Amino acid sequence: MKISIEQGNLKSVTAEAVIVNLFEGVTMPGGATGTIDGALEGAISARIAGGDFRGKLGELLTLYPRGAIPATRVIVVGLGPAADFGLEAVREAAGAAIKQARKLGAGSVATIIHGGGIGGLKVSDAAQATVEGSLLALYRYQRPGRHQESVNKVETLTLVEFAPNKIAEIQAGARAGEIIAESVAL
């Protein structure tokens, strides 16, 4: 899978799926999730208010923007309680969301860096954990000489960051995440 970093606004990114997140217990999304919610005229907030999404770790909500943003799908992943949040929660949330994207047939995925904003984690560590969790979740062992199963493939993962001053840290963290995931797979 090709990993790239893009500076910009997630709501203007063209992808088959965009991934945002939400802590458990949050009733009004903020940050990138709030921006996407606004572009979708409160669709995420409405699902929270209706009890359809609570933000539990790994919980998923898929929405279809119907042209409100360039992305075909929006996947909201739960981060669990803010008090228990850390790098392992980032890996788990990223993994759950990317598996959902694959299940839905999304070849191109854009995501925020889970925990790099309101989560309070060091941006490079959060980027590393986001990439690690995504790549490790998509890993499938193929025994040599066996028929390879046909599965949907996520071909590109773009990490999107609004603040230009964080891009260098994100690049370093993402590269470390790629190296670690490749090493684990080997």
pLDDT tier at 162, thresholds 50, 70, 90: very high
d(CA 169, CA 114): 14
Percentage of residues of the chain with pLDDT beyond 90: 88
Q: What is the mean pLDDT of residues 105-121?
A: 94
**Given this model, what pLDDT does residue 150 score?**
61
For residue 141, is pLDDT > 90?
Answer: no
pLDDT above 80 for 136: yes
| pLDDT at residue 149, as a whole number | 63
- Residue 148 is predicted with a pLDDT of 63
Contact 133, 79 (CB under 8 A): no
Given a cut of 80, is residue 43 above it in pLDDT?
A: yes
Give the pLDDT confidence score for residue 56 in this predicted structure. Answer: 98
Q: Which residues contact 159 (CB under 8 A, 6 or more apart)?
A: 3, 4, 5, 6, 110, 111, 112, 113, 127, 130, 131, 170, 174
pLDDT, average across residues 60-72: 97
- What are the Cα distances from residue 79, in Å, to 3, 12, 13, 56? 22, 24, 23, 6
Label residue 77 by pLDDT band (50, 70, 90): very high
Mean pLDDT of 162-172: 96
